[in-house]
Structure 1
Amino acid sequence: MNTFDRYAPFVQDFIYSHSWENLRSIQVAAADAIFNTDENVLLTASTASGKTEAAFFPILTEFWENPPATVGALYIGPLKALINDQFYRLNDLCEEADIPVWHWHGDVAASHKAKLLKHPSGILQITPESLEALLLHKHAAIGRLFGDLRYVVIDEVHSLLRGDRGGQALCLIERLSRMAGVNPRRIGLSATIGDPERTGAFLSSGTGRGCVIPRFEETRKTWRLSMEHFYIGGPQAAERALDGAWAQEADVIDDGARRSLPAPDDVRIDAPTATELAARTDLAPQDADPGLGYIFERTRGSKCLVFVNSREEAESVCANLRAYCEANHEPDRFLIHHGNLSAAYRESAEELMRDEEQAQTTVTTATLELGIDIGRLERAFQIDAPFTVSSFLQRMGRTGRRDLPPEMHFVMREEQPEPRSMLPETIPWKLLQGIALVQLYREEHWVEPPALDRLPYSLLYHQVMSTLASCGELTPAELAARVLTLSYFHRVDADDLRCLLRHLLETDHIEATENGGLIVGLAGERLTNSFKFYAVFQENEEFTVRCESAELGTIVNPPPAGERIAIAGHCWLVEEVDWKRHLVYCTQIKGRVPAYFGDCAGDIDTYVLERMRHVLAERDVYPYIMENARARLAQARHVASNAGITGRASSPLINLGGDTWALFPWLGSYAFLALERLLKIKCARELGLKGLDPSRPYFMQFRMKADPETFFEAVAAEAEAEFDPIDLVYPGEVPYFDKYDEFLPQELVRKGFAEGVLDIEGMKQRVLGWRDAWRSAQYG
């Protein structure tokens, strides 16, 4: 029996009604894995390849043949918007078969949730935070709700692999399974998995099952890709006088020369010509920021996304683009979407983007990076480089649906370097990073591997408190049996838990009963009774912003009355701040002002930094980089070669004059941080090192009395010596890194940072390599 014939009749009708001529290869492969094995399944395929249908067609077929007595499938999604989108998609599919589809998160009506609690059935779509709340407050009902749970589908599983949120999801699935007495199969979906085998093992933790990762042929893809560079002020790189060794290298792309380069496997890059992407305008406001003028012109009459890397930048970019509309006497065609906006604002933007008649452009952060259906997008723009290959692929994959090629245009913006700028500040780091991300996937199909070996003490605190709050009194042994046996805590031992419990007793987060049991204490109740407890990711103290009766979104650190704020792409005057109720009242005014929502740091892998170095060292002219970007890259290569950063006699340590040095480690975020601490804590005295100023993770500047040979020998000797990782934590430092670290004993915070965050092994390998290379160069 072929796959189509195996599907339930209502699934076949759905396929016919949507005029599908054939099933996609992933759907055939997934059906074989789900129908013909009892294993967990990891489905990895490009964006818009049909992964959701591939997973649910077999599941719904089983439910049609043998309806579950309770909720039969749990769908866990990372975003409310993604769940809303999938809810409507699955509802259309399931309506004829009378298989209920429920969704559950903070924006869902209580009446909808009450119906599910009364009649548990079908498919439940939920975020990790709402699942936490469900286990906490409906503990006694879990067996009745999920006693016949057969599948857990985790969408965008890659987004849960690099922090506590993924660990929380795994813990919740294990806790729910134990409480309901079930062992559901797990199905992970993702377009960007860097190490499928390790991810499959992670997905299967605690199930006693293996994981099937179906292999199948994907159709060959063409990328429409470009990358351009702009100085925010002054002449552009290609307009500046070209002379010296890099002049010929900086020749611009011929207007008539379209380049397409073959790539391994299934990716072909189709670079637009300079003429196609020329964006010249005489508007005065755009002269001040030609990069945004470029985007303004290229989005006119089109449906686009503009990705930025922070909420602050989203507000600034959207406000500027709207100002260009006003200056050009055009209707406002720019929307905004990020996590601090109210649900109404976000949903309004999504609805307008789905309208095929509207030529709207949305400025967004990662909130529209995942698989929310917002209609037929013509192209995406990325301002500067994202932090990961995974993010680049997700963002580009938002376009190219409905048989069109994915299309993304990078816009790199930087201030013109000052004439007296030090060498490291003249390197276009974001341009190098963007090229490295593209080339790593193009050349190797490399994507960041999952980070699965952390010491998740913050999550340990959270799950201890959640377990006690839901279960009531437990003996220490019973608590350990429920928490330490969760597979995500495989690196946490009984001594760690004892240390945590003693501290929580001292701080009244838990208390001991007369019977020797443990319950939630007074301080713990204040936390567990708040809706903010459900999330394990770091949050800022937020204030709701209102204009009359309309809720605009949230901000942190509100300014006093009379000051201006930026939110929802407009400028507002603060009329009143209600500190007790966390409310900000404002009125809309004209103007622009920077927005602030809290820090948004990136985590860059060492492999990306190493490829950035190769970009700087090699002479390739990539087919997708445009006129200014080519000139800027050629200039940077010329400067780097002359300075000795690249070339045969290259060195990571460069003298900037006198006793001032620059170090280019080419290490990822946490290996860089480990090296920075090794230098400050263990090497500074011997080297006479002072004033170390890091620009993470690109370079460090410092003053030093030692010569290069002494530097490389001393740093390698310290790295090679046996030392406790805790030595790289400063005396008295308690580095709060995750949300609940502040409630942990200090020794666990320090240990978790030293052994679970810092990449000490990666740092050691690099500095030992420096010493060996130095010796080889000097002595042969």
Structure 2
Amino acid sequence: MDVFDHYASFIQDYIYEHGWQTLRPIQVAAAEEIFTTDHNVLLSASTASGKTEAAFFPILSKIAQQPADSIQVLYIAPLKALINDQYDRLTDLCQDTNIKVWRWHGDVAQSQKRKMLKKPSGILQITPESLESFIINKHMDIPHLFHGLQFIVIDELHSFLRSDRGGQTFCLIERLSKLAGVNPRRIGLSATIGNLKAAAEFLGAGSQHQTVAPKVQNQKQVWRLSMEHFYQTNPQAGDKDFDPSEVGAPKADQAPALADPGIGYIFEHTRGKKCLVFTNSREECEAVCQQLREYCQYNHEPDCFLIHHGNLSPALRETAEQAMKDKDSYMTTCATATLELGIDIGQLESAFQIDAPFTVSGFLQRMGRTGRRGNPPEIHFVMREEHPESRAMLPDLIPWSLLQGIALVQLYLEEKWVEPPEPNRLPYSLLYHQTMSTLASSGEMSPAELASRVLSLAYFHNVSQDDYKILLWHLLKTNQIERTANGGLILGLAGEKVVNNFKFYAVFQENEEFSVHAGSEELGTIVKPPPVGDKIAIAGRVWVVEDIDRKRHQVYCHGVDGRIPAYFGDVPGDIHPHILHRMRKVLAEKTMYPYLLHNAKARLIQMRDTCNIAGLPEKQLISLGGNMWVFFPWTGSYAFLALERLLRIKCADRLNLRGFNSSRPYFMEFAMDADADEFYKILHEEAEKDFDPMDLVYPKEVPVFDKYDEYLPDKLIRKEFAYSVLDIKEMKKCVNAMFKENN
């Protein structure tokens, strides 16, 4: 079809005014699907490939022909900043039309919201949390506001594929559609989808429309990519006379005093430029920004660094966003994942990533913030580690971040691989949330009606009627819900307290700080503590969590020897098995990757030599002397966790396992009385047994992971951990492969 001819005249004018010579392949493919079918459409193409226009040119052309006194397009995005950015673009696109563009989130003026409620039409842009609030508080208005809804556009779809927030979004889409009596088409947009088929199934779950993902030939992309390594004090791995035993303070001419060479490298390479510096946690973001500002001070230069993360006020975040969009501003912004997603922040020269992100998707998104306006995407990794102590054991000699960074890049370059969706979880925390939300919005319901409303949502396809009964009985017992004289269910007093708090709308954990105590000493604070028995790093030492008082926000721990990365709680815990497999391959192969710079090359050579002498990566179990061993499973975080528990619960007596120390998902250290052959034999025998996943949950353990777990019965929390968190299938596969390799 001639796509251009099908566009409304104002879209054609927009294309002429912007001097476009041709439409991009994704724009042609999207228009053909949207104009000629009634399919849901997944649009996946590289960053800055014109996906927003690909979706909205045909959508706007269609709704321009059929005006309605209702919202016709619902646009859902994961971030307010992305909504604000797209609001400007869509308003510009619709300026000569009668199509209104509205936005609805916490920073939008009430006067604007009232106008939309009075005269609904056109496009409404919203976050999942604001949509939740809308469905609860504007329940009676939904049929009036959305009776003409034709399209739901979900931007940055990949960010919804692997979390309860994604589950919440799709539950809300289904609930809204039923309440309004509509059957809208879903249009998903993303630059980082690996498995198109799985993502299309996720997008279409619970919809009456078929879902398609047109394959388009992306233009070949050139990347500007580098990876450098720094020890936090000199000498560096690439120094001519490097001797790891002569580790000292920085040279006297370094600036400022006790400066971190990796931060100095970033300072030098961002001078006079507009860049982004990504970190993996908000604490690190604050620390890095502070150190970069110290460099400015030391060099008597004006402060040219901004900061952007989820805990800052809207005013501070918007200041950073505006400065980045300003063509004449040459400021660099330190950011977390809040700037990872599709905000067009103008002509950025490059992005820097401190240490490796946890996902291929995160790496691609961060690189995708650059490379607009015709320039290639550009990202520079800065990997940092401390010099190992003179008597450090083998695992501490491996620069895990450098290894992980190489694996992430290679997986995409070689296979175009990105983490797939996770559709088969037991999301009990979200089940509680949507149950309470349904009662809050609809009022009294019979148990059967409530179960029918909630369990029919596609995201809960794995939840049984029996599990739901267990949940409802527990909620009655804890006064989260009450039974009326008619036998119906309503919110109870305890439940009203939860639902009436504005924090209820979000299913992700807020950054609530817990104070950390060892005996009578307070060590500082962390966010979202790990489960009891896990380790945290704080106050320059390593501690094991003994107990967590969630009501008082306190963590109790005791000190142990060892080194682990600092745990702050707001980093994703799930590193996919495929990434660990590729990390092992990096150690095994001789390749010198073209993007590695001087120190990184030297450090990779050292790492391979060290591992080769020890027998890594062929051997996965290595003797550290005496009865001490180190075990490298090379599998994902949750398969690693299952393996850890298999060893400690099922194999410990047979191996006489003791002194267990784990750095997830990289290695485990322990003492045992068996040799390597016996270890693999016993591990394989136990893994092959037909055991219940609940066997890998410790007695009396209630592993709280998700925001609303505290309101669930212990039985369901334990079941979700055993069947959804522990990756037993992958663990068994991993053990089987190891056994074959060693026999």
Return the TM-score normalized by structure 2: 0.91
CA distance in 1, matches of 2:418, 2:340: 16
* TM alignment of 1:10-409, pairs within 5 A: 10-239=10-239, 241=241, 282-285=253-256, 288-409=259-380
Asked whether the equivalents of residues 255 and 295 of structure 2 are also in contact (C-alpha less than 8 Å), the reply is no
Of 722-731 and 285-294, deviating more is 285-294
Q: 653, 674, 677: which one pairs with 1:706?
A: 674
CA-to-aligned-CA distance 1:648-689 (integer Å, 9 cap, x gap): xx2110001111100000011100000011111111111011
- Show the counterpart of 2:544: none
Of 345-354 and 64-73, deviating more is 64-73
Residue 745 in 1 paired to residue 716 in 2? no
- Show the counterpart of 2:658: 690
Asked whether the equivalents of residues 393 and 624 of structure 2 are also in contact (C-alpha less than 8 Å), the reply is yes
Q: Which amino acid aligns with 1:27?
A: Q
Asked whether the equivalents of residues 303 and 377 of structure 1 are also in contact (C-alpha less than 8 Å), the reply is yes
CA distance in 1, matches of 2:431, 2:335: 33
CA distance in 2, matches of 1:30, 1:463: 33
Asked whether the equivalents of residues 101 and 124 of structure 2 are also in contact (C-alpha less than 8 Å), the reply is yes
- Show the counterpart of 2:725: 757
Q: Which amino acid aligns with 2:271?
A: R
CA distance in 1, matches of 2:413, 2:132: 39
Alignment partner of 2:624: what SS? Answer: strand
1:358: Cα distance to partner? Answer: 1.1
CA distance in 2, matches of 1:626, 1:141: 59
Alignment CA distance shift 1:80-1:555 (3 Å): farther
Asked whether the equivalents of residues 202 and 421 of structure 2 are also in contact (C-alpha less than 8 Å), the reply is no
- Show the counterpart of 1:528: 499
Asked whether the equivalents of residues 275 and 349 of structure 2 are also in contact (C-alpha less than 8 Å), the reply is yes
* TM alignment of 1:507-518, pairs within 5 A: 507-518=478-489
Q: 731, 737, 743: which one pairs with 1:769?
A: 737
CA distance in 2, matches of 1:596, 1:385: 15
Alignment partner of 1:285: what SS? Answer: coil
CA distance in 2, matches of 1:385, 1:235: 22
Alignment partner of 2:16: what SS? Answer: helix
Residue 600 in 1 paired to residue 578 in 2? no
Q: 699, 720, 728: which one pairs with 1:731?
A: 699
CA distance in 2, matches of 1:330, 1:427: 37
CA distance in 1, matches of 2:568, 2:243: 44
CA-to-aligned-CA distance 1:259-300 (integer Å, 9 cap, x gap): xxxxxxxxxxxxxxxxxxxxx994432763110110000001
Asked whether the equivalents of residues 527 and 570 of structure 2 are also in contact (C-alpha less than 8 Å), the reply is no
Q: Which amino acid aligns with 1:720?
A: E
Residue 474 in 1 paired to residue 445 in 2? yes
1:67: Cα distance to partner? Answer: 1.4
Asked whether the equivalents of residues 340 and 597 of structure 1 are also in contact (C-alpha less than 8 Å), the reply is no
Alignment partner of 1:666: what SS? Answer: coil
CA-to-aligned-CA distance 1:28-73 (integer Å, 9 cap, x gap): 1100011011010000001111111110110100111111330000
CA distance in 2, matches of 1:612, 1:223: 22
1:476: Cα distance to partner? Answer: 0.5
1:209: Cα distance to partner? Answer: 1.7
CA distance in 2, matches of 1:771, 1:197: 33
CA distance in 2, matches of 1:555, 1:718: 37
Asked whether the equivalents of residues 69 and 119 of structure 2 are also in contact (C-alpha less than 8 Å), the reply is no
**Misfit runs of 4+, over 6 Å:** 554-557
Q: 420, 428, 438: which one pairs with 2:399?
A: 428
Asked whether the equivalents of residues 224 and 408 of structure 1 are also in contact (C-alpha less than 8 Å), the reply is yes
CA distance in 2, matches of 1:601, 1:64: 42
CA distance in 2, matches of 1:240, 1:508: 69
1:765: Cα distance to partner? Answer: 0.8
CA distance in 2, matches of 1:158, 1:352: 27
Alignment partner of 1:305: what SS? Answer: strand
Alignment partner of 2:613: what SS? Answer: helix
CA distance in 2, matches of 1:438, 1:175: 39
Q: Which amino acid aligns with 1:732?
A: K
1:390: Cα distance to partner? Answer: 0.5
- Show the counterpart of 2:689: 721
Q: Which amino acid aligns with 1:191?
A: A
Asked whether the equivalents of residues 358 and 572 of structure 2 are also in contact (C-alpha less than 8 Å), the reply is no
CA distance in 2, matches of 1:350, 1:243: 44
- Show the counterpart of 1:627: 598
Alignment partner of 1:335: what SS? Answer: strand
CA distance in 2, matches of 1:508, 1:383: 47
- Show the counterpart of 2:417: 446
Q: Which amino acid aligns with 1:175?
A: R
Asked whether the equivalents of residues 152 and 184 of structure 2 are also in contact (C-alpha less than 8 Å), the reply is yes
Asked whether the equivalents of residues 555 and 597 of structure 1 are also in contact (C-alpha less than 8 Å), the reply is yes
Asked whether the equivalents of residues 188 and 203 of structure 1 are also in contact (C-alpha less than 8 Å), the reply is yes
Asked whether the equivalents of residues 286 and 292 of structure 1 are also in contact (C-alpha less than 8 Å), the reply is no
Alignment partner of 2:701: what SS? Answer: coil
Unaligned ranges ≥5, structure 2:
245-250, 515-524, 529-552, 554-565
- Show the counterpart of 2:3: 3
CA distance in 2, matches of 1:465, 1:11: 43
Q: Percent identical across equivalent pairs?
A: 65
- Show the counterpart of 2:584: 613
CA distance in 1, matches of 2:104, 2:74: 11
Residue 416 in 1 paired to residue 387 in 2? yes
Q: Which amino acid aligns with 1:62?
A: K
The root-mean-square deviation of aligned C-alpha atoms, in Å, is 1.9
* TM alignment of 1:455-466, pairs within 5 A: 455-466=426-437
CA-to-aligned-CA distance 1:457-480 (integer Å, 9 cap, x gap): 000000000000110000001001
CA distance in 2, matches of 1:494, 1:608: 37
Asked whether the equivalents of residues 286 and 293 of structure 1 are also in contact (C-alpha less than 8 Å), the reply is no
Residue 676 in 1 paired to residue 644 in 2? yes
1:602: Cα distance to partner? Answer: 3.3
Alignment partner of 1:82: what SS? Answer: helix
CA-to-aligned-CA distance 1:510-552 (integer Å, 9 cap, x gap): 0001111000000000011011000011123379xxxxxxxxx
CA-to-aligned-CA distance 1:350-407 (integer Å, 9 cap, x gap): 0011111111100000001011121100011000000011110110011110110111
1:212: Cα distance to partner? Answer: 1.4
Asked whether the equivalents of residues 26 and 50 of structure 1 are also in contact (C-alpha less than 8 Å), the reply is yes
Q: Which amino acid aligns with 2:14?
A: F
Q: 616, 636, 653: which one pairs with 2:621?
A: 653
